Amino acid sequence: MTDDHYERGWHASGTMGTFGAAAAAANLLNLTPAQCATALGIAGTQAAGLKSMFGTMCKALNVGKACSNGLYAAQLAGKGFTSNGSILETDQGYVKTHSNGQNEEAALKDINKGGFHARDLLFKYHASCYATHAPIEAAIKIRETTQFDAKNIEGVVIRIPRLALGMCNIEKPVSGLEIKFSLRMTTAMALAKRSTSSIESYSDALCDDPELVRIRDKCRVEVGEELAPGNGEVIVRLDTGITHRAASDMTIPDQDLEHQQQRVEQKFRDLTANVLVGDAATTLISKIRSLDEIQDVNELASLWSLNA
């Protein structure tokens, strides 16, 4: 689709995600290749989601609808519903109406390797916009490798790629949802040792937290023209004259799968702390680690029930 699709204002998680959900559901439903193409056609005519909704409940709705519409598309295709199976390449189809260009070679370059990209997946370790993650990680590096008191922060420069400006640059968020799309506030949270992975961290009340507001207002966002999407740099200047800087690249898959697993599991614990009681989270994690050995999905269902 090229970068043009996203730069136009489309929320790719909602648009492209609909195709991903349809493909996954079609596979699970054992649809034929022709039915799968039909499912993608049905998915394409439903695919939607706008970046202008970032900072509102509709951002999450985009993602939820992608899952729902993708499954619905596969189910309809399995029941004989019809569509244009050439939705991606046809005139007036998805690509030509949603982007100025397309790169088929990039999409198919690894097809002879089996086309499996699970090892290349990138995980969100923080419950905020992905473009805030590089600055958050950079701020955490500074916080964990240097000794300083947040009270001594005199100024912070957050350097980001230009694409991030239209994603998460809410200067003074007034709600928890807007915090998720605020480079200044999420970086302030990381520097102040506040959790950025828990849903509860992004509350409306946090917008008026004196410590975070003080650091937020000392932050300046700059575009680094040399920075590729997913990259970021944070420069912290202290009132002692000392300056700390760190950079992060969130586009590189973690090659240490056990480390990756532990970070995903910790985020899961944070997100389910008020939902799963007792040892349910730990037991569920253990079951998921041995998923191939589970004979009955009810073993999992009984654990993930809302039992708080």
| Cα 93 from Cα 37, distance rounded (Å) | 13
Q: Looking at the structure, tell me whether residues 79 and 45 fall in a common domain.
A: yes
**End of a domain among 76, 110, 144?**
110
Look at residues 211, 233, 249 and tell me which one is the last residue of a structural domain: 249
pLDDT digits (tens, 9 = 90+) for 89-140: 899 999 999 999 788 888 777 777 665 677 788 899 999 999 999 999 999 9
Residue-wise pLDDT for 205-232, tens only, equals 999 999 999 999 999 999 999 999 999 9
Flag whether 122 is in a domain: no
Note whether 134 and 242 are same-domain residues: yes
Q: What is the CATH number of the domain that holds 177?
A: 3.30.1330.120
User: In the structure, what pLDDT confidence band is assigned to residue 305 with cuts at 50, 70 and 90?
Assistant: low
Residue that is last in its domain, among 226, 249, 272: 249
- Flag whether 222 is in a domain: yes
In 3D space, the residue among 107, 31, 118 whose CA is nearest the CA of residue 71 turns out to be 31
In-domain check, residue 56? yes
pLDDT in tens, 260-299: 999 999 988 888 888 887 888 898 899 889 888 888 888 7
Residue 281 lies in a domain: yes
Range(s) of the domain holding residue 53: 4-110
* Domain match, 272 and 212 both: no
> How do residues 175-211 score in pLDDT, each as one tens digit?
999 999 999 999 999 999 999 988 888 999 999 999 9
Predicted local confidence at residue 270, as pLDDT: 84
Mark whether 262 and 237 lie in a shared domain. Answer: no
Q: Do the domain assignments include residue 120?
A: no
pLDDT score for 154:
96
124 within domain boundaries: no
* φ/ψ bin of 95: left (φ > 0), alpha (ψ from -120 to 50), beta (otherwise): alpha
Question: In terms of domains, do 22 and 104 share one?
Answer: yes
Shared domain check, 146 and 220? yes
Q: Answer yes or no: do 239 and 150 share one domain.
A: yes
For 141-164, what is the mean pLDDT?
93
User: Would you state the pLDDT for residue 115?
Assistant: 59
